[in-house]
Structure 1
Amino acid sequence: MKIFYCFLVFVVSVISGFAQQSDSLRTELLSQVNVTANRITVQTLETAGSISVISSQNSKVWQPRTTPEALMGTTGVFVQKTTHGAGSPFLRGLTGNQTLILIDGIRLNNSTFRYGPNQYLNTIDPFAIEKMEVLRGGGSVAYGSDALGGTFQLLTSNPSFSEKLTVHGRAVGRYSTGDMEKTLRTGLEVSASRVAFSGGLSVRNFGDLIGGDTTGRQSPSGYKDRAFDAKLLLRVSDSWSLTVAHQSVRQRHVPLYYRYKLENFALNEFNPQNRSLSYFKLKGGTPRKWASEISLTGSWQTTKEGRLSRKTGSSSLRTETDKVKTAGLIFNVQSDITGFWKASSGIEIYNDLIKSNKTDQVAGGSPVYGRGLYPDDSKYLNYAIYTLHRLRLDNLQFSFGGRFNGFRIDVSDEVLGKVLVKPKALVGNASVSYLIREKSNFYGSFHSGFRAPNIDDMGTLGIVDFRYELPAYDLKPEASYNFEVGYKFRSKSLAIGAALFQNNLRNLITRVQVKGQKIDGIDVYRKENVERAYIRGGELEAEYMFSGNWKLYGGGAYNFGKNVTKNEPVRRIPPLNGRLGVEYRKLRWYVRPEVWFADQQTRLAAGDLGDNRIPKGGTPGWVVVNLMAGYEAKHFAVNAVAQNLTNKDYRTHGSGINGVGRSLWLTLTTRF
């Protein structure tokens, strides 16, 4: 708490001194543009909502090991790590299948996304990302199911056209003390007047994560990662372009560390953990106001998750495999209705096919085949129509929109029988902003959201999150009603963003214990729509540039969640957390010391008390000091990150593995 109060004092002091300081430099905070909030390009300052934009420049400085870790320190984002090969970001107290992840506008979330923390964001190669946009508290109208807490959009790098044929290349090498990371990334870009291509290959070997103070090496936690991406841009005409892209990630032997440490497993790992995405996007403009820009995106995405497990002292090896194939189609039309009225409307269709199986193999015996975690050959159709509008009248700006979403869930299973469910949802949003001289934005907004029941909710049979779960089918969509007020200010040297929100949650799907029933000594649960809850809180961030070369920055977020039905805290609510830092840049050099902090979390739900990853009495608070420095030249760059200088032993709330201890991460980049 003391650090957060210091941050408030810092904000007050820079505001009071603002009139006396130079405006020669421009702040980065709030000056970027985003596409996530309204499906059209809008400056972040003018957005009637809380959105963070993490640029590639920030990633170059921080040099994140993985995509989840690239979000660490972002205002309003709290990253939980079940294991070293995972990372699940919380938005306003929610995570897992209650937050939505997009890649270039395409849903990463599929019908098997689990409730609570998961590892799926870690299957996106951070080297392929150009920019990340984080919309807190919204996204269902624009993008559909799952955006109860908010929306993450990851935008990959695009090659650029050039008048003459040009070829550029890049190679990146990274090493960490203790052999915690050995990475090599190579990339190539070829540009011409009508054709542009970029591609890259990442080879990453992660050793066991070494914690701070008394923790030491956390084994087993290391794994191997291979990633490939390619993108081709064709200029079909002066106003039309075609993008064809592919990306894939293959991860091997990803241990779930806490299961070895706390649950008596001799083997428990994801193997393999694969994802691939191929898509095309045809985009162009027309002279008609109702269709100033049209885009058509078709995608094909596959995920494969294998799970291997064997208890200590047992000779029985269990192998589970889930495969999901998703075909998607998005048709979007942007309209410049008048000079002050813009709109974005369209249709979306996604269709999942799930294959799931399980094999038990005793040493020396024949394999026994059985039902997988999900019903085999399940089908999940997701279709929608939406429209979003933005009106600017002098200093007032109005935004509103609506979405109808339907689903067809087709399950045929020996436990459930044949089930056909067709849930539907209708959601809307509205906001108003008062803009003053392109510097200030007072806003209020309302977003309704939903999460349709998925195959993981309906068809799970087996041990999940230290419980035995039975299938359920009579489920309705979860609903959220998010209210927010905020203020944004930006000048050349100072930027401030503040927001207060309350998110009312209804029809929450939760596991309910089946009384008197145990399987292999484990309590049995089934999911039901039984809970109401609310999460309220506040967020504050600021950035101040002075003396030509210096920048002060910081941010913090607080969430308070209550399960009204059970009269207890909402599960896994992050504590007060944030960061403070200062950066100095001169010519090609920079240095950036930074402090991360989190208060203790002692407000625990019954599910938290039974979670062996959370210490008895709650998760202690912590303060971690990092130091980043680097030199950037035309053809090469050297970046160094010294993490956890005090070697603090810490764990983010709900994680199954401790954070990294004192260590040095060195990255060398060469370009031609």
Structure 2
Amino acid sequence: MASAQSIRGRILDADTKAPLPSVTVVLLHTTLGTVSNQEGYFEIYTKTPGNYKIRITRVGYEPLDLNTTTDQTLMEVALKPTFLQLNKAVVITAQRYETNQFNRPEAISVITQKELDQRAPRSTPEALMGTTGVWMQKTNHGGGSPFIRGLTGQQTLLLIDGIRLNNATFRSGPNQYLNTIDPQNISQIEILRGSGSVQYGSDAMGGVAQILTKNPVFTDSLSVNGSVYGKYMSAGMEKSGRAEVSVSNTKVAFLGGLAYRSFGDLVAGGDLGVQKPTGYDQISGDLKAKIRLSERYLFTAAWQKLEQKQVPVFHKVQLENFAYNYFDPQRRQLTYARLEAFHNNPWFRKVTLTGSLQQTLEGRKSQKNDSPILVSELDKVNTWGAVMAIDSEPTSYWKAHSGIEYYYDQVNSTREDINLKTDTRMAKRGLYPNGSTASNLALFSLHTLELDKFVLSAGGRFNAFDITVKEKELGASTIRPSALVGSFSALYKLHPHHHLVSSVNTSFRAPNIDDLGTLGIVDFRYEVPNTSLKPEKALNMELGWKARTKRFSSQVAFFRSNLSNIIGRVRSGNDSIQGYQVYLKENVAEAYLKGLEADAEWQLAPTLAAYGNLVYTYGQNITAQEPLRRIPPLHGKLGLSYRARQGIWIQPQYMFAAKQSRLAQGDIDDNRIANTGTPAWSLLNLNAGYSYRWFSVSMELHNIRNKAYRTHGSGVDGYGRSFWLATQIRF
């Protein structure tokens, strides 16, 4: 017989009445939780009898919150299967704590665990292809930089489990760092579009892309589980494998994974053929453990490491007379510890302390065809982070999230030129001033009022920076910029199934070490440093509509961003160094971005749905009276999704992009973009698979018509006609 101090129940499928295993059940405002067994039963023990709210979630079903008590008899809960995914996710990024996507004013795109399993993306950047509000640029096959509302690089913030991936050396253009996250270690990807500086600080001018990694779950008794994953792509373009193991009981939950991936040279569409060199190898591992110290205290420790070897920069070999040019190694390691304390005090409902150390190592090796000199560069960045956050719930309709955070970057940068003929070595200045540092201290507070017809959110943040660059020739210099930003957003419940949303917020990007201390060849130019830079600023405005009915979901957003103090590269007279034109970064520009984002899902039948999106972005540099650089073209997708009860799914998909001929002078100078712009393209893909209790298989036919295409601004072309096959066995 169950204890009086327990909450127990059985979870069923609302349509079939079949028991649902592996359903996550948590008691909100405590550390307690479990998963349902094969018969759908769960039981959570507590030392404190009384009233609780439980949250019940399972992929493919609508999340459910229920009020219950410890003296209640066995409850029976029916979860509604959801064919549609849009507007039905529980998200974290909008307010730094869990909220319902549909009931938030912000524009949010979500990629769920189910989508990731079915699509089996080769890399984390490729997982974002086709996501509403995101344009993926690939400088090289081992990279991938998301454009959110026309901005990327330093002006878009990347997070892992709430911790900044951006560091003080992030450059202004596209970068490859999102590809240092193993796609098979991801539970959900959230894209917060058009806001983020109030919540997360510098760089979030276009928005925030947050990667949430897999979590181990507690179980009622000792449980050992695992999985083995394998994937093969035609022409040897991918051979991947990953193994996972989890061990858990009521007090401890552990999850670990190890993966190896070998990527062959990319085979492009049409008559473009093999793009050599583009292939590389990658190995990664990750560990995460949760320890339930008591009903009120939860401790989490996590470690991730990924390393890539000899990642070629294809366009430099193809267009810039390099014998070879590659990243070696490209390495990222993240270690963090988090303590969560849950209390009954409404002002301190939850207190979270997080400490982190992220280490990135980027090596670059290159040699020109007509030169005996091997250039070997190495940049190492250590980023220490500390965050204290407090969740408050002063009333039933008022929630707040406040905190203080601190990040400290230390940069070591070296270069060595090796004469292969004479076997002599010469040490030179690295890409960044060696020993440079950057600190980032912030206070923030976010508030939400949930009234009868309105959800109102407002917040503010103050950020202070201390950035020191140490130039041997120019001497050390320090700047101490600061920023104060705010936000206000509103959701009006026009109807239970239709919400109107609007927001206005300010955002910023503080100059970093890349801005202040870059010296050398970057992309297709030679940069020299400037230590007189100020923060970039933006004013973002948005108006939109969200709909969610039983058979239809949609989001539409109109946005405009006014940018000022934008740091841009300016030609330094007619100077040239090593054959490259010389550029200097300055606060030179005012600009604006505006556009439309729309996506929808419509359930046509019990097992069939249609979906699609459309994104248009227009950017203009007011100062230079020309388009902003690398603005994505009009693009979108259309598709059908068939999912049978037997675990079969079939998804034909059509993706397209219009021609982009609105080019800035920097685009015209970019050897990756034709002078007339990037041609329009379209793709036809077919994804299908089957999933059973312990086994799943998925496959895709990509670019069935074998069309040649390149996403605007990229340095490599897209995949030609190809297929991949992936399997996973669970035990």
- TM-score above 0.5: yes
Q: Is 1:284 paired with 2:336?
A: no
Q: Which amino acid counterpart does residue 277 of structure 2 have in structure 1?
A: P
* Alpha-carbon shift at residue 416 of structure 1 (Å): 2.9
Q: Match for residue 726 of structure 2? A: 667
Q: Indicate the residue corresponding to 1:274 in structure 2.
A: 331
- Separation in structure 1 between the aligned mates of residue 533 and residue 354 of structure 2, nearest angstrom: 31
Alignment of 1:446-461 (within 5 A): 446-461=504-519
Residues 435, 441 of structure 1: 8 Å contact kept = yes
Equivalent pair of 1:49/1:443 in contact (CA under 8 Å)? yes
Are 1:515 and 2:573 matched, yes or no?
Answer: yes
Shift of residue 516, structure 1, vs aligned partner: 3.2
Matched, 1:489 2:544: no
Whole-Å separation in 1 of the counterparts to 2:142 and 2:533: 32
2:358 maps to: 301
The question of 1:375 aligning with 2:433 is answered yes
Shift of 1:410: 1.4
Secondary structure of the residue aligned to 2:716 is coil
1:366-515 mapped onto 2 (5 Å cutoff): 366-515=424-573
Aligned equivalents of 1:40, 1:131: Cα separation in 2: 14
What is the aligned counterpart of 1:62 among 112, 119, 126? Answer: 119
Q: Give the equivalent residue in structure 2 for 1:525.
A: 583
Q: CA RMSD in A?
A: 1.0
Structure 1 outlier segments of 4+, above 6 Å: none
Task: Give the superposition deviation at 1:287.
Answer: 1.1
State the shift of 1:378 in Å.
Answer: 0.4
For structure 1, the 5+ residue unaligned runs are: 1-22
Match of 1:220 in 2: 277
Question: Which of 592, 595, 608 is the equivalent residue of 2:654?
Answer: 595
SS in 2 for 1:109: coil
Deviations 1:211-252 (CA, angstroms, capped at 9, x unpaired): 001111000000000000000100010121000000000000
**What letter is aligned with 1:206?**
F
8 Å CA contact retained: 2:391, 2:402: yes
Q: Which position in structure 1 is the counterpart of 2:672?
A: 613
1:669 is matched by which residue type in structure 2?
Q
C-alpha distance in 2 between matches for 1:510 and 1:437: 45
Give CA deviations for 1:401-426 in whole Å, capped at 9, x if unaligned.
Answer: 00000000112212331101100000
Distance 1:468 1:654 in 2: 19
Say whether residues 1:542 and 2:600 are aligned partners.
yes
1:261 lines up with 2:318 in the alignment: yes
The residue that corresponds to 1:573 in the other structure is: 631
Distance 1:240 1:27 in 2: 36
* Counterpart residue type for residue 644 of structure 1: N
- Secondary structure of 2:283's partner? strand
**Mapped partners of 1:362, 1:552: distance in 2:** 60
Q: Matched residues, percent identical?
A: 48
From 713, 722, 728, the counterpart of 1:654 = 713
8 Å CA contact 1:277, 1:300 repeated in 2:
yes
Give the superposition deviation at 1:660. Answer: 0.3
The Cα shift of 1:397 comes to: 1.4
Is residue 63–residue 641 contact of structure 1 (8 Å, CA) maintained in 2?
A: no
Matched, 1:250 2:284: no
In structure 2, C-alpha distance between the alignment counterparts of 1:498 and 1:141, rounded to whole Å: 23
- Runs (5+) with no aligned partner, structure 2: 1-79
User: What does residue 411 of structure 2 align with?
Assistant: 354
Letter in structure 2 aligned against 1:308: K
SS of equivalent residue, structure 2 residue 125: helix
Give the distance between the partners of 1:609 and 1:162, measured in 2 at CA. Answer: 58
Computing the radius of gyration from Cα coordinates, the structure with the larger value is 2
Secondary structure at 2:116 match in 1 = helix
Does 2:400 correspond to 1:343? Answer: yes
Q: Distance in 2 between matches of 1:492 and 1:305?
A: 49
User: Structure 2 CA distance, aligned partners of 1:377 and 1:249?
Assistant: 24
User: Is the 1:236–1:242 Cα contact (8 Å) retained in structure 2?
Assistant: yes
Cα contact 1:95–1:116 (8 A) shared by 2? yes
Q: In the alignment, which of 85, 89, 101 is matched to residue 28 of structure 1?
A: 85
Counterpart contact for 1:336–1:342, Cα < 8 Å: yes
Deviation per CA, 1:108-163: give whole Å up to 9, x if none: 00000011111000011101110000001010000000001000011000000011
Matches of 1:480 and 1:402 in 2, distance apart? Answer: 15
Residue in 1 that maps onto 2:3: none
For residue 60 of structure 1, report the CA deviation from its aligned partner. Answer: 1.3
1:8: which partner in 2? Answer: none
Distance in 2, matches of 1:416 and 1:456, equals 16
Question: 1:11 matched to which residue of 2?
Answer: none
Work out the CA distance in 2 between the residues paired with 1:518 and 1:641: 48
Give the number of aligned pairs: 650
Q: Which residue of 2 aligns with 1:89?
A: 146
Deviations 1:326-368 (A, max 9, x none): 1000100000011111000000100000000000000123210
Q: Which amino acid aligns with 1:38?
A: Q
- For 1:505 and 1:169, locate their aligned partners in 2 and report how far apart those are by CA, in whole Å: 49
Aligned partner of 1:626 among 680, 685, 694: 685
In 1, the alpha carbon distance for the partners of 2:574 and 2:638 equals 51
The residue aligned with 2:243 is: 186
Q: 1:238 and 1:495, CA in 2 relative to 1: closer, same or farther beyond 3 A?
A: same
SS in structure 1 at match of 2:423: coil
Separation in structure 2 between the aligned mates of residue 438 and residue 322 of structure 1, nearest angstrom: 53
Q: Is the 8 A contact 1:26 1:491 kept in 2?
A: no
Secondary structure at 1:75 match in 2: coil
1:204-243 mapped onto 2 (5 Å cutoff): 204-243=261-300
For 2:312 and 2:81, the matched residues in 1 are separated by 50
Cα separation, 2, equivalents of 1:72 and 1:506: 29
Whole-Å Cα distance in 1 between the matches of residues 161 and 632 of structure 2?
28
CA positional deviation for 1:24: 8.8
Instruction: Provide the C-alpha distance between the structure 1 equivalents of 2:586 and 2:543, rounded to a whole number of angstroms.
Output: 33
CA change 1:24–1:372 in 2 (3 A) is closer
Work out the CA distance in 2 between the residues paired with 1:618 and 1:427: 36
1:643 aligns with 2:702: yes
Q: Distance in 1 between matches of 2:494 and 2:243?
A: 46
Contact kept, 8 Å, 2:104 with 2:455, in 1: the verdict is no
Contact 2:376 2:415 in 1 (8 A): yes
The one-letter code matched in structure 2 to 1:465 is: D
Task: Note the alpha carbon deviations across 1:277-326, whole angstroms, 9 max, x for none.
Answer: 00001012111111101100000010000000100121110000000001
